[in-house]
Structure 1
Amino acid sequence: MIKRTIFFGNPAYLSTRNEQLVVGFRECENKEDKTIPIEDLGFIVLEHPQITITNGLIRKLIENKTAVITCNAQHLPTGFLQPLQGHSEQTERYRHQLNASIPLKKNLWQQTVIAKIKNQALHFKRLGKNPLRLKRYVKEVKTADHDNQEALAAAFYFQNLFDIPDFSRNQKGIAPNNLLNYGYAILRAVAARALVSSGLLPSVGIFHSNKYNAYTLADDVMEPYRPFVDQVVYDIVETGANIENLTTQIKSELLMIPALDVKIDGKMSPLMNAMSRTTNSLWECFYGSSRKILYPEMSLHFADV
């Protein structure tokens, strides 16, 4: 079942009744309450500062493993509410994760970088752009990506992805960096939610290790998924829409990212479900029953890499 993503961009009073999320509009006396089954919810995004949410609803959302995402004054997702316990074997899984060997982590990061650059190349091929240079980067990725082929590939990829003079990937750069920031923030929440559900610590990465970053493992596993966000942003740019501001329409399209169809293990699956398969395969690597992380790929053949 595909879980729903609900966005709240106006003042509202959110509570619960009969296992439903109840949306009240206290400033509009003539507006009837709306209800949504909590079991259908995968993500809710709270953007407006005048949203009130009851503790009873928060408890039920956490029990349902619904990700509650809050936004800052610039309307970008900045907070993520998660349960303290997301899996029945959580302590055991933490132990295996924390005891993972350095060689294993290096190998897992190599797999991750290869999967990411392959998807960037497939995205180029889908757009009719030349992917040969990206394919060469794939072949140069060594264990732990010591030569930083990921950064080289990313620089080339973004310099040539959009037909925008002098565009480069920079969080504070020109549009559509604002769209990419928003899409990646949603993707990060999807990754963190899946990691918690798989009984893993999002704060202990296989490569990323910034002590100020509480979601280093989420930042690791989301890397091969980034090109799917890029695809959505590219399609928005191509419509000719005004991308200087994150309009309600643009945000509604970016909020569909968890439900995107992606190809994983030869089959199509919603992105949020694919992410759960990725995080579960990562747990199997930590446990020792597998040596391969399962990542999605763009739905184009990549036989010659």
Structure 2
Amino acid sequence: MIKRTLYFGNPAYLHKNNLQLKVHEPKTNNELGSIPIEDIGVVLLDNPQITLTHALMSALLERNTAIISCDSKHLPTGLMLPLEGNTLQSERFRYQVEASEPLKKNLWQQTVKAKVENQAALFQRFAIDNKRLKALVPQIQSGDPDNIEGRAASVYWKILFEEDDFTRNRFGEAPNAHLNYCYAILRSIVARALVGSGLLPTLGIFHRNKYNAYCLADDIMEPYRPFCDELVYGMWKKGEIKDIEITREHKAKLLSIASMDVLFDKQKSPLMVGLSRTTNSLFECYKGERRKIIYPEFMA
């Protein structure tokens, strides 16, 4: 069952009652809604006047819910995940920690290949010539020593927004902020799936920044980024995005990334559900039970 993504942008008092998340209006204490906690996968808190009880927080984390906090600019800034997301966690940590460098290089090769192939598929979906991207795929080697990922990104962003004066930059003009927002949500969903599979989001296969607590999430999300790009690019071309402001309507669309339909082994699945297949397949690669990570593809 696909878990729900909840967004709270107004003042609210959130508490637990009979395994339900209860939403109350702070001033009047009127109940505004009730959601079964077991149905929740992500909670996004986007208002400084939101109160969350410890009992509710504990119940959400026990069910592997990702709790995301936003800053004064309404951008995701913090992520809370459970410490124990799998009953065999210590055993799975050991396989992850002991993974050999050749294995990690091979896994990164698979990851980069899947990302570039999905970027090319996005071009095809929007009737954009993807020959330059497709030509780069056979050049991806173990560990990507020639940085084909970076070369593909340069081609990708230049062609995707060829008709617009756009440069992909975290702090750049629109629609950079919308891309950042969607990526932040995606990163949280990926980290949640990794914890659920008993893996440490900190220990990456390629990313190794000592200040980054989610190196593995940053690795595994790479082939998923084009699905965020599809959402934002479609909104941009329809004229829905005017400037860097991310409106409530924009957020609703970007949060739908969790339920977007994707293909896994030619079978349709919501992205959040399919992510568990990706992270479980990654563990099986660490354990030596399989050789390939299962990554998503675009729907035909």
Give the TM-score range, shorter chain: over 0.9
Q: Are the equivalent residues in 1 in contact too, given 2:12–2:25 (CA < 8 A)?
A: yes
How far apart are residue 165 of structure 1 and its match? 3.1
How far apart are residue 155 of structure 1 and its match? 1.1
**1:98-119 CA-partner distances (Å, limit 9, x unpaired):** 0000000000000000000000
1:21 aligns with 2:21: yes
Distance in 2 of aligned mates of 1:196 and 1:230? 25
Q: Are the equivalent residues in 1 in contact too, given 2:22–2:31 (CA < 8 A)?
A: no
Secondary structure of 2:35's partner?
A: strand
Structure 1's 164 and 212: CA in aligned 2 closer, same or farther, altered over 3 A? farther
Q: Are the equivalent residues in 2 in contact too, given 1:237–1:243 (CA < 8 A)?
A: no
Distance in 1 of aligned mates of 2:98 and 2:26? 51
**1:151-173 CA-partner distances (Å, limit 9, x unpaired):** 01011111121355331211001
The aligned residue for residue 58 of structure 1 is 57
Q: Are the equivalent residues in 2 in contact too, given 1:10–1:48 (CA < 8 A)?
A: yes
The aligned residue for residue 291 of structure 1 is 291
1:86 aligns with 2:46: no
Distance in 2 of aligned mates of 1:268 and 1:145? 30
TM-score (norm 1): 0.96
The aligned residue for residue 127 of structure 1 is 126
1:279 aligns with 2:295: no
The aligned residue for residue 253 of structure 2 is 253
Structure 1 spans left out of the alignment, 5+ residues: 301-305
The aligned residue for residue 204 of structure 1 is 203
Distance in 1 of aligned mates of 2:59 and 2:163? 45
- Structural mapping, 1:91-240, within 5 Å: 91-240=90-239
Name the amino acid aligned to 1:14.
L
Secondary structure of 1:86's partner?
A: coil
Q: Are the equivalent residues in 1 in contact too, given 2:170–2:176 (CA < 8 A)?
A: yes
Distance in 2 of aligned mates of 1:52 and 1:162? 41
Distance in 1 of aligned mates of 2:84 and 2:59? 14
Q: Are the equivalent residues in 2 in contact too, given 1:202–1:217 (CA < 8 A)?
A: yes
Q: Give identity over the alignment, percent.
A: 54
Secondary structure of 2:31's partner?
A: coil
Distance in 1 of aligned mates of 2:62 and 2:100? 33
Q: Are the equivalent residues in 1 in contact too, given 2:42–2:66 (CA < 8 A)?
A: yes
How far apart are residue 266 of structure 1 and its match? 1.1
Distance in 1 of aligned mates of 2:249 and 2:243? 11
Distance in 2 of aligned mates of 1:137 and 1:173? 27
Q: Are the equivalent residues in 2 in contact too, given 1:159–1:166 (CA < 8 A)?
A: no
Distance in 2 of aligned mates of 1:186 and 1:125? 25
Distance in 2 of aligned mates of 1:33 and 1:233? 31
Alignment size in residue pairs? 299
Secondary structure of 2:51's partner?
A: strand
Name the amino acid aligned to 1:79.
G
**1:223-262 CA-partner distances (Å, limit 9, x unpaired):** 0000000001011112212242100000000011111000
Secondary structure of 1:7's partner?
A: strand
Distance in 2 of aligned mates of 1:228 and 1:15? 33
Q: Are the equivalent residues in 2 in contact too, given 1:258–1:271 (CA < 8 A)?
A: yes
Higher deviation after alignment, 162-171 or 275-284: 162-171
How far apart are residue 139 of structure 1 and its match? 1.2
Secondary structure of 2:208's partner?
A: coil
Q: Are the equivalent residues in 2 in contact too, given 1:155–1:168 (CA < 8 A)?
A: no
Name the amino acid aligned to 2:116.
I
Secondary structure of 1:256's partner?
A: helix
Secondary structure of 1:23's partner?
A: strand
Distance in 1 of aligned mates of 2:163 and 2:84? 45
Q: Are the equivalent residues in 2 in contact too, given 1:194–1:275 (CA < 8 A)?
A: yes
Distance in 1 of aligned mates of 2:77 and 2:202? 16
The structure 1 segments of at least 4 consecutive aligned residues displaced by more than 2 Å after TM superposition are 162-166
Distance in 1 of aligned mates of 2:271 and 2:167? 26
Secondary structure of 2:286's partner?
A: helix
Superposition RMSD in Å: 1.0
Q: Are the equivalent residues in 1 in contact too, given 2:108–2:142 (CA < 8 A)?
A: yes
Q: Are the equivalent residues in 2 in contact too, given 1:171–1:178 (CA < 8 A)?
A: yes
Name the amino acid aligned to 1:193.
R
Q: Are the equivalent residues in 1 in contact too, given 2:111–2:222 (CA < 8 A)?
A: yes
Q: Are the equivalent residues in 1 in contact too, given 2:173–2:243 (CA < 8 A)?
A: no
